[in-house]
A and B are shown apart, each in its own frame.
Chain A
Amino acid sequence: MDELLMRPALDAAVRAGAEYADIRRVGRVTESIGVRQGAVRSISSSSEQGFGVRVLAGGAWGFAASSRLDPDEVQRVARQAVGIARASAQVMDRKVTLAPVEPVTDTYRTPVRVDPFAVKMEDKVSMLLEADRLVSAQRKPWRVATRLIGEAYLNWSRENKRFLSTEGADIQQELVECGGGVAATAGTLREIQRRSYPNAHRGHYATAGWEFVESLRLADAAPRIGREALALLGARRCPSGRTALILDSTQMALQIHESCGHPIELDRVFGSEASFAGTSFLTPDKRGAFRYGSEAVNITADATMPGGLGTFGYDDEGVPAQRTEIIREGVFLNYLTSRDTAPLVGDEASSGAARATGPDRIPIVRMTNVNLEPGDWTLDAMIRDTQDGILMETNLSWSIDDRRLNFQFAAEAGWEIKDGSLGAMLKNPNYTGITPEFWGACDAVGDKSEWRLWGTPNCGKGQPSQVAHVGHGASPARFRDVRVGVGR
């Protein structure tokens, strides 16, 4: 099939006048189960096929995609892409330059022990119903109107894609993802409280086989999150003021995502998202000198780390997966880049971060696995070392300004820390800060034993919208003098 479609598309694009063309053919199956209150809410299966042709003609970009895999359609789409590039060239100030890449013929597969599609649907449903049951089996307190509702989710997918370019690349990849989570919602007539495991927003995801889902042990954690959701109803509200703040590794993943991952996307720096998601405070003049955080802060972007949602063999421009230092001992060093943005800051090569969420979308600069490197603290030692502070766990909501400076994040649960020990539970915890001040106040980072590579399956960017799957490795960390309890 590919022989009839892919090379002919590149030939058609070149005949129509393209200087450069690539084509991605993608097939993907995604399945999911959602369970709530003892009942299966949905089981669905979605399959997708299609191809996208991207061209440079007259120095400008054009892209067209279709889901009809037939030879005539491929010719039409290739010509359409060139026509679009010619239209782009009408509103252009300089030709696009692509950073060079060695064209390779290669294959990459997510290492998988147990194929998620080979596990029986019945077994998956039973696993979720059991986790859900264990959440709501927790004894409700005295209050008559108290509700406790369990929810559990599983998602799994397989994507096969092939990339060909006029430069001679031919890359086939198979990416397998799976994951899930369990959540408890406790409510009275006046409020709702929520706890999630292993992470908020439908759980934890990885490029891996079913062995990953089994390792999550959703049912084992279900009773605890049920109890904690109920306990939050009776907890004190998070106080307002300034204090030391310890974030668990899931909330750290969100903190990294919003305040580091997005501002280091080089396309944002050059305004490509200005009318939509915004720009970045990390302008090119800051590179190599700007103090982004304290010396405890080391951040890398690593697409080669096994298991991450940002792990692959090659990005969607055929650039190999890489590990890039982003922040070293607090100093900002590098961006996430693509072939057309890297030259804008004088980089010789792309950092391999151009990713598309499907055949019908262009690759744009995306996070891979953007990780906070482990420090040398255990969480216990961090707490023991804190006189007065708050521990916050599991993200609930997030908001950050369009240059990624002023953020306000809320967590599901908090605990006060007094004289080196954890005290009472706190409800509705949130905190706010300005990115470099906040990271500048980081004085402790958890060690390897506390470090986990989290999967974030809901990163929105681009128009038309692309919801990417990215990874964040993190351990708990402590920040001095943070403003908490905003807008009570």
Chain B
Amino acid sequence: MIGREGATAILRKAIDFSDAEQTQAVLIGGESALTRLAENVIHQNVAESDARLTVKAVFGRKIGTASGNDLSDEGVRRTAARACEIARINREDRRFVSLPAPTGDAYPQVRCFSERTAAFGAAKRAAAAGIFAAEARSAGFRAAGSLGVQAGEIAIANSLGVLAYSPHTRVEASTVVMSGAGAGYAGDSAVDVDDISFAEMARTAVQKCRDSLNAAALPPGDYEVVLEPEAVGAMLLFAIRVGFHHVLYRQGGSYLSRKLGRRVLGDNVTIWDDGTDPRGLPMPFDFEGTPKRKLMLFENGVFRNMVYDSYTAGEAGAKTTGHSIPYADFGAMPMNVFVQPGGASIQDMIKSTERGILVTRFHYTNLVRPGKVVITGMTRDGTFLIEGGKVKGPVMNMRFTQSVLEALRCVEMVGSEPRRLGMANVPAMKIGKFSFTGATEY
């Protein structure tokens, strides 16, 4: 870690080296390490230390971007010079208005760094991976999994006076436990490694694997489904990516285009974005240094707010909402999504289902058609038939092809216990009709 002072000094240098009218400098870096498990042994175990400077230079309405990870004076000078050179060559961008000026608001106090996580080194990661392996081995199963730990920092400055710095930590853990034909999954993520119970994850995955042995084939068709949070999260990701995709939204190709204030999802679906909530993966500001705050996206199914960074806000005649993301040419995106929990447990959902399917999670979901957000994907790591309000038994994995919008318009029950899924905090859902279009042999 470079630290606040060192990072600020690098940003100042970059802005000084630039002769552009407006300059923004962003430094993203840190240490990350990841331990992977396969067949009950650690087979990959890596660590890296990196920090990357990205400079955006603006002459009038001409923009250039360059980045590099050589942070010597010479390296910083080269990156700034390349950004300026590109900006000069570039054409006028008539949509560009300005880089953001300081808002005057203080950055929110956000708990996004944990010393315990930063100190969670190779030996501790191996011990945690050992918990997954031991639990699986004692059941006669095989565990795979990964345990990623990151201690990073983000610093942002621009020539209009924005200056922001924040360190952060993240832990992401997952395990898949397998036997001949069955598989079970558990995953978690947090700022503080102490918020994760590796033993509980191991037990969950082993139990799921045990429950999914001797799966039966089930014919494709429309079923009621109880989706665990991971499966809801995978669907939601597409609803967000397509809906808030700036270009689609402006061109009328997003289901949110011209729908501000109108109902687009079921009235029991409320979703907001909140970069300051410690239950997600919080950050006090976005990648332009604009303070984060809670923003309602869908209130009882009604589309309430579009998200913006400074560029897309300028284009739309709006104000930035603090949703700049670190990828050029993409627009703004909600990155800290929360779904309002309901009152039902997964057991309640199962009890209320006459005939349906319980899904642990999806695999390889992809967009088929953006209009109604039709996606396809497979179930994996625990798929079960529900009959007469009870889990009857495991079924082989199935392919679905389903409109996410239609699914989120027939949500019958919303779970009471949301799960942390990295970018989103999501409960389970029971959905009235879900279309399975194929099956596989395991």
| B45 with A87: CB separation less than 8 A | yes
Does B175 touch A at the CB level, under 8 Å?
A: yes
Using CB atoms, name the residue of chain B closest to A69. B70
Q: Contact mask B114-140 → A, CB, 8 Å, 1/0?
A: 000000011101110110010000000
> Known contacts A85-B45, A87-B126, A464-B148; is A44 also within 8 Å of B95 by CB?
no
Does A271 touch B at the CB level, under 8 Å?
A: yes
> Known contacts A49-B69, A271-B144, A274-B144; is A88 also within 8 Å of B48 by CB?
no
Taking residues whose C-beta sits less than 8 angstroms from the other chain, chain A's interface range is: 35 or more
Shortest distance from the beta carbon of B370 to any chain A beta carbon, whole Å: 6
Instruction: Say whether chain B's binding surface is mostly helix, strand, loop, or mixed.
Output: strand
Using CB atoms, name the residue of chain A closest to B70. A49
Does B41 touch A at the CB level, under 8 Å?
A: yes
Does B196 touch A at the CB level, under 8 Å?
A: no
Q: Contact mask B419-442 → A, CB, 8 Å, 1/0?
A: 000000000000000010111111
| A275 with B176: CB separation less than 8 A | yes
| A187 with B253: CB separation less than 8 A | yes
Does A441 touch B at the CB level, under 8 Å?
A: no
Does B154 touch A at the CB level, under 8 Å?
A: no
List the A side residues contacting B251 at CB < 8 Å.
Answer: 147, 149, 185, 187
Q: How far is A432 from B366 in the complex, measured between Cα atoms in Å?
A: 14
List the B side residues contacting A400 at CB < 8 Å.
Answer: 364, 378
> Known contacts A121-B89, A147-B252, A463-B146; is A64 also within 8 Å of B47 by CB?
yes
Does A137 touch B at the CB level, under 8 Å?
A: no
Does A397 touch B at the CB level, under 8 Å?
A: yes
Does A295 touch B at the CB level, under 8 Å?
A: no
Q: How far is A362 from B36 in the complex, measured between Cα atoms in Å?
A: 12
| A486 with B86: CB separation less than 8 A | no
User: 8 Å CB contacts to B: which residues of A5-56?
Assistant: 34, 36, 39-50, 52
| B70 with A47: CB separation less than 8 A | yes
| A274 with B437: CB separation less than 8 A | no
Q: How far is A364 from B378 in the complex, measured between Cα atoms in Å?
A: 25
Q: How far is A34 from B93 in the complex, measured between Cα atoms in Å?
A: 13
List the A side residues contacting B32 at CB < 8 Å.
Answer: 464
> Known contacts A61-B44, A192-B253; is A270 also within 8 Å of B38 by CB?
yes
List the A side residues contacting B34 at CB < 8 Å.
Answer: 463-464
List the B side residues contacting A406 at CB < 8 Å.
Answer: 378, 397, 399, 438-440
List the A side residues contacting B368 at CB < 8 Å.
Answer: 396-397, 410, 430, 487
List the A side residues contacting B380 at CB < 8 Å.
Answer: 278, 401-402
Using CB atoms, name the residue of chain B closest to A49. B70
| A64 with B365: CB separation less than 8 A | no
Does A125 touch B at the CB level, under 8 Å?
A: yes
Does A215 touch B at the CB level, under 8 Å?
A: no
Shortest distance from the beta carbon of A241 to any chain B beta carbon, whole Å: 14
List the A side residues contacting B252 at CB < 8 Å.
Answer: 145, 147, 187, 189
Using CB atoms, name the residue of chain A closest to B130. A91
Using CB atoms, name the residue of chain B closest to A63. B46
| B95 with A92: CB separation less than 8 A | no
> Known contacts A65-B48, A274-B178, A275-B37; is A87 also within 8 Å of B69 by CB?
no
Does B105 touch A at the CB level, under 8 Å?
A: no
User: 8 Å CB contacts to B: which residues of A238-290?
Assistant: 270-276, 278
| A43 with B64: CB separation less than 8 A | yes
Using CB atoms, name the residue of chain B closest to A276. B146
Does A108 touch B at the CB level, under 8 Å?
A: no
Q: How far is A405 from B439 in the complex, measured between Cα atoms in Å?
A: 10
List the A side residues contacting B90 at CB < 8 Å.
Answer: 40, 43, 125
| B122 with A83: CB separation less than 8 A | yes
Q: How far is A273 from B380 in the complex, measured between Cα atoms in Å?
A: 14
8 Å CB contact of B401 from A67, A121, A403, A487: A487
8 Å CB contact of B39 from A185, A270, A408: A270
| B376 with A401: CB separation less than 8 A | no
Shortest distance from the beta carbon of B208 to any chain A beta carbon, whole Å: 13
List the B side residues contacting A207 at CB < 8 Å.
Answer: none
List the A side residues contacting B142 at CB < 8 Å.
Answer: 271
Using CB atoms, name the residue of chain A closest to B79. A47
Shortest distance from the beta carbon of A20 to any chain B beta carbon, whole Å: 15
Q: How far is A377 from B319 in the complex, measured between Cα atoms in Å?
A: 59
User: 8 Å CB contacts to A: which residues of B312-348?
Assistant: 328-329
Shortest distance from the beta carbon of A394 to any chain B beta carbon, whole Å: 15
8 Å CB contact of B94 from A39, A42, A50: A39
> Known contacts A50-B69, A88-B126, A401-B399; is A45 also within 8 Å of B82 by CB?
yes
Q: How far is A80 from B253 in the complex, measured between Cα atoms in Å?
A: 50
Q: How far is A90 from B49 in the complex, measured between Cα atoms in Å?
A: 24
> Known contacts A272-B38, A397-B367; is A46 also within 8 Å of B122 by CB?
no
| B328 with A42: CB separation less than 8 A | yes
| B377 with A399: CB separation less than 8 A | yes
8 Å CB contact of A408 from B93, B94, B175, B399: B399
List the B side residues contacting A397 at CB < 8 Å.
Answer: 366-368, 376
> Known contacts A45-B67, A49-B70, A401-B363; is A65 also within 8 Å of B93 by CB?
no
List the A side residues contacting B158 at CB < 8 Å.
Answer: none
Q: How far is A141 from B239 in the complex, measured between Cα atoms in Å?
A: 30
> Known contacts A45-B82, A88-B126, A275-B144; is A401 also within 8 Å of B175 by CB?
no
List the A side residues contacting B24 at CB < 8 Å.
Answer: none
| A271 with B38: CB separation less than 8 A | yes
Q: How far is A432 from B69 in the complex, measured between Cα atoms in Å?
A: 44
Using CB atoms, name the residue of chain B closest to A93. B41
Does A317 touch B at the CB level, under 8 Å?
A: no
List the B side residues contacting A463 at CB < 8 Å.
Answer: 34, 36, 44, 146, 148
Q: How far is A398 from B378 in the complex, measured between Cα atoms in Å?
A: 12
Does A221 touch B at the CB level, under 8 Å?
A: no
Does B4 touch A at the CB level, under 8 Å?
A: no
Shortest distance from the beta carbon of A433 to any chain B beta carbon, whole Å: 9
| A44 with B174: CB separation less than 8 A | no
Q: How far is A434 from B396 in the complex, measured between Cα atoms in Å?
A: 14
List the A side residues contacting B110 at CB < 8 Å.
Answer: none
Does B374 touch A at the CB level, under 8 Å?
A: yes
8 Å CB contact of B51 from A40, A67, A90, A125: A67
Does B402 touch A at the CB level, under 8 Å?
A: yes
Shortest distance from the beta carbon of A193 to any chain B beta carbon, whole Å: 10
> Known contacts A45-B65, A46-B68, A87-B125; is A432 also within 8 Å of B399 by CB?
yes
Does B50 touch A at the CB level, under 8 Å?
A: yes
User: 8 Å CB contacts to A: which residues of B1-46?
Assistant: 32-46
List the A side residues contacting B163 at CB < 8 Å.
Answer: none
List the B side residues contacting A39 at CB < 8 Å.
Answer: 91, 93-95
User: 8 Å CB contacts to A: which residues of B216-237?
Assistant: none
User: 8 Å CB contacts to B: which residues of A272-319?
Assistant: 272-276, 278
Does A228 touch B at the CB level, under 8 Å?
A: no
Does A62 touch B at the CB level, under 8 Å?
A: yes
Q: Contact mask B271-301 → A, CB, 8 Å, 1/0?
A: 0000000000000000000000000000000
Q: Contact mask A140-174 → B, CB, 8 Å, 1/0?
A: 00000101010000000000000000000000000
Does B262 touch A at the CB level, under 8 Å?
A: no
Using CB atoms, name the residue of chain B closest to A126. B91
Closest 3 interchain pairs by CB? A487-B401, A274-B144, A87-B122
Further contacts, 9 of them, CB under 8 A, given A64-B48, A129-B91: A43-B89, A60-B45, A64-B49, A66-B50, A90-B126, A92-B41, A191-B369, A401-B399, A402-B363
> What are 29 sample pairs from A and B whose C-beta atoms fall under 8 A apart?
A40-B90, A41-B329, A42-B328, A43-B89, A45-B66, A50-B50, A65-B49, A66-B49, A67-B49, A80-B47, A81-B47, A84-B122, A90-B42, A90-B126, A187-B252, A192-B369, A272-B43, A275-B37, A278-B364, A397-B376, A401-B440, A402-B364, A406-B440, A408-B376, A428-B369, A430-B368, A463-B146, A464-B34, A486-B376
